[in-house]
Structure 1
Amino acid sequence: MSEKVNRILMFVVTGEFVVGILGNAFIGLVNCMDWIKKRKIASIDMILTSLAISRICLLCIILLDCFTLVLYPDVYATGKQMRIIDFFWTLTNHLSVWFATCLSIFYFLKIANFFHPLFFWLKWRIDRLVLKILLGCLAISVFISLPVTRNLNNDFRLCVKAKWKRNLTLKCRDSKAQYASIKIYLNLLTFFPFTVSLISFLLLILSLWRHTKQMQFTATGCQDTSMQAHVGAMKAVISFLLLFIAYYLAFLVATSSYFLPETELAVMVGELVALIYPSSHSFILIIGNTKLRQASLQVLWKVKTTFKRRNF
């Protein structure tokens, strides 16, 4: 890549990184301050804080990978450093997806209305199980990420940079096959939490449809609190699903780009698109959460007041 293209891509990547850090750090800071003030934390705040922390780590890993690719391309010729980045990227990626799935399930259990014994059992016990579920997600993510450090061939990145060497052809072919199989396997594992979120979204639609149908017979048809809660939860879940699809496709581009002629450019474009998911979804969660939305409005009002005072 030319130096001009590198600068443009790095500028965009850095901008997305700053935006994502601000949004996720705001979520974590507001919830932690409320936790200290009340000396207890609500289940939804615990999930949102865990999700924000995982996405901050994910953003840092993606930015580190981008800077390494552009500023220190020779690092890609060694396996140890890149295996560390690959491990933490896989770990934070799965953590972010699993925590977002926990959020989808929490919305579903708290808002939906179904007359089933299992649903009621989960609905009344979800608050007690949140911490255990989050720790379980952490353990699953660590377990899934271990194959990256154990099985990834140290010479694969060297093969990427030394495609012109004929004596490495056979060795590189084996390394590519091994790398591709591991990455495809790990990427496919994210489809399970994604499917759970999709099922939660479909059940929310079903619950809203049943609630709307009941409202037609028992009320005047105006929106009530339950309907507004349904719509708000559906917006949060569907935004996660759509952004995750874009992120997943970009992640596949960045992964498969090692087999393309323009490796660096494909990786940078893939990571640039991938940053949209952890950066933008945090602001959707802030808008959809009453406490976070009010806190953000207060911050904006204080910033606006400060600028007015300095101007005068």
Structure 2
Amino acid sequence: MSEEVNNTLIIIAAVEFSVGILGNAFIGLVNCMDWMKNRKIASVDLILTSLAISRIFLLCLIMYDSVLLMLYPGVFISSQEFRIFDFFWTLTNHVSVWFATCLSIFYFLKIANFFHPLFLWMKWRIDKMIPRILLVCLVLSVVISLPITEDRNDDFRLCFRAKGKTNLTLRCRVDKAQYVSIKVCLNLLTLFPFSVSLISFLLLILSLWRHTRQMQLSATGFRDASIEAHLGAMKAVISFLLLFLVYYLSFIVATSTELIIESDLAVMVCEFIALIYPSSHSLILILGNIKLRQAFLRVLYKVTYILKRRNV
């Protein structure tokens, strides 16, 4: 890989990483400061804070792997280090998806208008259940991630990081295929919470359609607060669905590339595409939340004011 391409990739990765870290850290900081001030935290703020923390760890892990590929492509990582990295990457990947799904379900229960007894029971109980639901999601993610820590041949690990120094034997290829299949199968489980978020989005559309129809029958010709709430929640959920889909496809391509093409450049490009998901979705959540948006505008105003004072 040429030095120009390498430098360009480093700049792109640094920008994506910085945006993601700043955005998610801002969400966590604003909610934690509000928590300390009021001595309590709203359910949606708890979900957003948990989601932001999980994505900070996910961003750090993706960036760590990208830096190794860009700056130290021939460095051999021990089997133990590889297992630790894989475990935490799988864990943060599952946790962030489950927490985003909790946010989708919360929006659905709080905003949608249905009169089914089960829906009403969940709507009344959701605020008290959120801490326990988040804890269950964390424990479930840990359990799902444990199989990736299974000990494997160091020669197989060497095949990933020292391609130019190692003869790729048939045994090596078989071990790599087994590793990739396990990794892909474990992360296929994220499609379940993804499906739950998709169902929540579709039910929000149904709720909005029913509410809009009722307004038309009552000859109301303007948007009310319920429609605005529906649209805001739908934007947050659909952005998560689309960005996660791009992220997941890039993960599939990256892991397949490691096995078939064995191109570090292709893997890095896929990882940079994957960085878009945890980075940009945090900005969408900030702009879609009134408290976070107002805090962001205050910070932006202060930064602009300080810069103008310096230029005077």
The TM-score bracket by the shorter chain reads: over 0.9
Q: Give per-residue Cα distances to partners, 1:67-99, cap 9 Å, x unaligned.
A: 122223344453222222111111111111000
> What runs of 5+ residues in structure 1 fail to find an aligned partner?
none
The answer to whether 1:181 aligns with 2:169 is no
Cα separation, 2, equivalents of 1:261 and 1:50: 37
Residues 1-312 of structure 1: matches in 2 within 5 Å? 1-76=1-76, 78-160=78-160, 161-162=162-163, 169-312=169-312
The answer to whether the 8 A contact 2:177-2:259 is kept is: no
Q: Give per-residue Cα distances to partners, 1:1-39, cap 9 Å, x unaligned.
A: 223222211111011000101100000000000000000
Cα separation, 2, equivalents of 1:202 and 1:76: 47
The answer to whether the 8 A contact 2:23-2:283 is kept is: yes
Q: Give per-residue Cα distances to partners, 1:207-260, cap 9 Å, x unaligned.
A: 000000100112422100001000000000000000000000111122112123
Q: CA separation of 1:151/1:144 partners in 2, compared to 1, >3 Å: closer, same or farther?
A: farther
3-state DSSP of counterpart to 1:73: coil
Cα separation, 1, equivalents of 2:239 and 2:261: 34
Amino acid at match of 2:85: I
Q: CA separation of 1:153/1:237 partners in 2, compared to 1, >3 Å: closer, same or farther?
A: farther
Amino acid at match of 1:132: R
The answer to whether the 8 A contact 2:83-2:150 is kept is: no
Aligned residue pair count: 311
Percent sequence identity is 69
Shift of 1:177: 2.4
Cα separation, 1, equivalents of 2:164 and 2:194: 36
Amino acid at match of 1:42: A
The answer to whether the 8 A contact 2:16-2:279 is kept is: yes
TM-score, scaled relative to structure 2: 0.96
Amino acid at match of 2:204: L
Amino acid at match of 1:285: L
- Range with bigger deviation, 176-185 or 116-125: 176-185
3-state DSSP of counterpart to 2:222: coil
Q: Give per-residue Cα distances to partners, 1:47-68, cap 9 Å, x unaligned.
A: 0000000000000001111112
Cα separation, 2, equivalents of 1:54 and 1:238: 20
Amino acid at match of 1:137: C
The answer to whether the 8 A contact 1:69-1:76 is kept is: no
Q: CA separation of 1:163/1:72 partners in 2, compared to 1, >3 Å: closer, same or farther?
A: closer
Q: CA separation of 1:152/1:270 partners in 2, compared to 1, >3 Å: closer, same or farther?
A: farther
- Range with bigger deviation, 14-23 or 181-190: 181-190
The answer to whether the 8 A contact 1:28-1:53 is kept is: yes
The answer to whether the 8 A contact 1:152-1:178 is kept is: no
Cα separation, 1, equivalents of 2:151 and 2:217: 61
Shift of 1:151: 4.9
The answer to whether the 8 A contact 2:24-2:56 is kept is: yes
The answer to whether the 8 A contact 2:74-2:163 is kept is: no
Shift of 1:148: 1.1
The answer to whether the 8 A contact 1:100-1:240 is kept is: yes
Amino acid at match of 2:234: M
3-state DSSP of counterpart to 1:275: helix
The answer to whether the 8 A contact 1:75-1:82 is kept is: no
Amino acid at match of 2:296: S
The answer to whether the 8 A contact 2:101-2:193 is kept is: yes
3-state DSSP of counterpart to 1:239: helix
The answer to whether the 8 A contact 1:204-1:234 is kept is: yes
The answer to whether the 8 A contact 2:158-2:166 is kept is: no
